[in-house]
Amino acid sequence: MKIDRILVIGACGQIGTELTVALREKYGRYNVIAADKKITADILLDVMDHEELSNVVRECSVTQIYHLAAMLSANGEQNADAAWKLNVGGLLNVLKVAKERKLDKVFWPSSIAVFGLGSPKYNCPQNTRIEPNTVYGISKRAGEYWCNYYYEKYGVDVRSLRFPGLISYTALPGGGTTDYAVDIFHQALEKQYYTCFLSEDNCLPMMYMPDAIRATLELMDTPKEKISIRTSYNLAGMSFAPCDLAAEIEKYIPDFKISYEPDYRNAIANSWPASIKDDNARKDWGWEPAYNLESMTSDMLEKLSIMKGMPVLLSSGNSQEEFQPLAHETLHSLLGTANSLREVTKTHVINE
């Protein structure tokens, strides 16, 4: 029986940290190789080095690659050349190796950043006018076409999701335009105050990381013949503006206050849709998000309070009760693995 061997490139990043844990639970600890340029990974790997990547795939008998290494939207605007080289060049190296080594599957994340001002603002469909106006969005749109090309021309089974903004309690903000939705929780618990770099009514599609990880695993488990989108699937979770999230946090932390000082990231966010239509994902592989704004906020505050050793006031209707952090073996196991992957000196290259 063939053994699946998974290579996760960018395993120390926002998605990679939690996806690596989930893949090890599914395939076994030693069948999932965490690769990154950071010293806490299983192996040090620069995805820009085609020969090095090919050698790792051969020597480790890799059958699938999850390629997550990228420079995100906000950082990409400050380092345009580097963002383009990493985001497109890295993907091309992965696709070439997948073709040469005849890999079973490849996963690569795209983003709502592929959409632009010409795209529908609400319920943005799978196929529509797409005119990205950031380096990140342009690189992701180009990557979608490369994925489709390698499938059509060489039969490489590469699959992709257009992720909305992702929210995680295990990963700190990493240079994205939607990072406020992570940082706000840390600041709310520690300082009861947050200054947001987006305007209060700038509504964006968002997703809680457990849903994003589940969507990835479900997509990769779907029979090949059911995959109808070979660029990248639209994927929806929830949509909210900073004022909506602040109001939800205030239910748990009544003293929490927020102010708004929009910067260049606000213009980036304004160019993206406020909500996404994901009919193809629901039809092809039964996608359904599990979290909404209310359940995500409650879970984030609970998990972060455990991490920080802080009690937090949890709201139940108009009454409030104090939640005392308890020992949760599963959570601490996840956090321990995540921290071991991520605890390194920050660089300008951010992994998804």
DSSP structural state of residue 351: B
Backbone angles phi, psi at 46, to 5 degrees: -105, 110
Rounded to whole angstroms, how far apart are CA atoms 67 and 88? 12
DSSP structural state of residue 2: P
Using alpha carbons, select from 3, 147, 1 the residue that is nearest to residue 62: 3
Using alpha carbons, select from 260, 219, 267 the residue that is nearest to residue 243: 260
Backbone angles phi, psi at 169, to 5 degrees: -90, -10
Name the amino acid, one letter, at 72.
Answer: L
Q: Is 136 a catalytic residue?
A: yes
Q: Are 191 and 255 a contacting pair, CB within 8 Å?
A: no
The token pair that represents 339 in the structure block: 């921290």
> Of the residues 30, 66, 136, 180, which is catalytic?
136
Residue 37 three-state SS: coil
Rounded to whole angstroms, how far apart are CA atoms 338 and 17? 5
* Catalytic positions, written as ranges: 136
